[in-house]
Amino acid sequence: MFRPQIQKTRILAILALLNVVMVYWALNSYERHRTFGFDIKNQAVEVMESAINSLRTAFVQKAINEGKDLESFGDFLIGPENSAIQTTKGARLSKQSSLNPDFAAMVTEMLIELEIDSSNKVAVSYTGSYPGANIAVLSSLEAIQAEAIIIASCGASEFGATNPEMTWIDMEKYLFDEKVISNKSKYASIGGGLDLGTQLGIEGRKICEKSIYSNGLELLNIGDLK
C-alpha cells in the first residue's frame, strides 16, 4: 500500500521534535517590559489590599462574617442576599470578582487613559452594590493623588454592602478615619428605586438615613423628581 512520506514514523518524530523546539523557543524568547504607569497601578493595588484588610478588622469588631474569606480575598465583604437595605437582584460572582485588588489597577489604567492626575478633580457616583469596585476607585484616586467629589447611595443589590450594621457609607467613613483613603462622600441618598428606596421598607429607609446622618453626610432626598 502506498504510504505518503509525511506519515512515516521518522518524519513524524522529526516534526514532533521540531514543534517542541519551536514552543520552547517561543516561551523563552520574549522580554518583559513594565507598561506605562506600572508603579502607580501597583500602588493602587497595595492601597486596595490595605483597605480590605482594614475593613476586616472592623467586621471582626462588629462580629460580621468573622472577617474571614471563604473562597477568595476580601469576600467577607459580601453581604447577605436579602436584608432590610437590599434593593434589587445581584450576582454574587460579580461582587466577588470586583474585590480582586487587581481591579484597582484596571481602574487606574482607565484614569491614566483619561489623563487624570493630581491636578484634577474627579466626579464620582457609586452605590453600596459593589463595595469592591468602590474601594478600587478610591484606591486608584489615592495612587494618582486626585481629589474627588463623591455622591454615594446606601442601598445595595444582593450580595453587595447589604449588612445593615455596616453599610457602604459606614465602610467609606471607616477607611477615611483610618487614613487609608483621603476622599469620601459629601452627599448620599438612600438609593434603590427613584433613589428614594422605593423597594425598601420603612426599616430599611431608616437604617440608611441613620447611616448617612451619623457619618456626617448630607442626605439627598428629593421627593419630586420633576
Average pLDDT over residues 92-106: 96
* Residue at 54: amino acid letter: S
pLDDT at 180 over 60: yes
The reported pLDDT for the residue numbered 26 is 85
Find cell 445581584 and name the residue.
90
CB-side neighbour CA atoms (13 Å) of 66: 3
Average pLDDT over residues 104-133: 95
pLDDT at 7 over 80: no
- Local confidence band at 35 (pLDDT 50, 70, 90 cut-offs): confident
Average pLDDT over residues 201-216: 94
Closest CA to 144 of 124, 158, 127: 124
* Strands of the 185-189 sheet, one edge to the other: 121-126, 147-153, 185-189, 218-220
Instruction: Give the C-alpha separation, 148 to 141, whole Å.
Output: 8
Find cell 480575598 and name the residue.
73
pLDDT at 23 over 80: yes
* The residue count for the chain: 226
The reported pLDDT for the residue numbered 2 is 46
pLDDT at 177 over 90: yes
Instruction: Give the C-alpha separation, 220 to 169, whole Å.
Output: 13
pLDDT at 225 over 70: no
| Percent of the chain whose predicted confidence (pLDDT) is above 90 | 75
For residue 187, give the 3-state DSSP assignment.
Answer: strand
- Local confidence band at 95 (pLDDT 50, 70, 90 cut-offs): very high
The reported pLDDT for the residue numbered 221 is 79
pLDDT at 1 over 70: no
pLDDT at 21 over 50: yes
Instruction: Give the C-alpha separation, 77 to 69, whole Å.
Output: 9
The reported pLDDT for the residue numbered 223 is 65
